[in-house]
Amino acid sequence: MVRATGKYTLGLVQELGDFALFTARSFADVPKSRRLGRRVVRAFFEQGVRCLPVVMIVGMFTGLVLGLQGYYVLNKFGSEGLLGTLVSLSLVREMGPVLAALMLVGQAGSALAAEIGIQRNSEQIAALEMMGVSSHGYLVAPRLIAALIVFPMQAAIFVSVGLWGGSLSGSLLLGLEPGIYWSAVERAVQSNDVIECFVKATTFGLLTTGLCAYYGFNAHRSPSATGARAVSAATTHAVVLSSIMVLAADYVITSFLVRT
């Protein structure tokens, strides 16, 4: 039991170190990668434009539900006027960055892990290395750079759409005065909340994109599967672990940035 726990812990620490080196090397190889801008734009398109509809749809429904649930709870205490506060702080501090990141992991992250895994399987990564091209700089760095920009943007869009969703259910459906809702939003959200939102989104972007690229990149090292199954296993592992990491990192960041 002790031996198994120790072995597992050592494996975990080794993998964490490996992941940290992988991410560091990807950034370190940025200067070696030529014509990086084009690939950053492409990654920006994949993570940003392609994922925008799903982020907006989920943002809208999250805002609608928050508006409904919040209204009925606050109504019991005669505090419907605080609906804007509840919806905005929930979205800005927690739900915006977390849910936007989870949506991005589900769409762009899984695609990234699968794409790099297939490139590993079909020797495209070996071909790059053989050409003297840094595979980290060519394949991973543009995605990481794009993630640092896209994740905060998607979180901001999620929050904005969510606020409109909250306003829709609170004002249009349940009859709360829109001015009351929006003035509560304005009073509640402080610059610290926005900073927290962006810090979280940036961290999630770096973590999840790095993890998805890492698992795709190392798909050939899977001990239990080869070929297409290894890519499938790597993709599943990447998405599951990224989702867990989003929530774990959210807790850690919140505990550091917690305020009254």
User: Looking at 88, 104, 112, 115, which residue binds other proteins (CB under 8 A)?
Assistant: 115
Binding to other proteins by residue 110, rule CB under 8 A? no
How many residues of this chain bind other proteins (CB under 8 A)? 16
| 18-37 binders of other proteins (CB under 8 A) | 33-35
Q: Quick one: tokens of 122?
A: 């079909």
CB of 206 to other proteins, least distance (A): 24
The least CB distance from residue 117 to other proteins, in Å, is 13
Q: Does 124 bind other proteins (CB under 8 A)?
A: yes
- Local structure of 144: helix, strand or coil: helix
- In order, the DSSP letters of 169-235 are IIIIIT---HHHHHHHHHHH--HHHHHHHHHHHHHHHHHHHHHHHHHHHTGGG-SS--HHHHHHHHH
Residue among 112 and 241 whose Cβ is closer to other proteins: 112
The yes or no reply on residue 132 touching other proteins (CB under 8 A) is yes
Residue 220 near other proteins by CB under 8 A? no
List the helix and strand counts (H, then E) for the chain.
Answer: 12, 0
The dihedral sign for the CA sequence 110, 243, 98, 137: negative
Q: Could you give the string, one character per residue 35-54, with x where binding to other proteins holds by CB under 8 A and - elsewhere?
A: x-------------------
Residue 5 beta carbon to other proteins: minimum distance, rounded to whole angstroms: 26
Q: For residue 182, what are the CA distances in angstroms to 63, 123, 195?
A: 13, 55, 20
Give me the residues that bind other proteins (CB under 8 A), please: 33-35, 115, 119, 122-124, 126-127, 129-133, 138
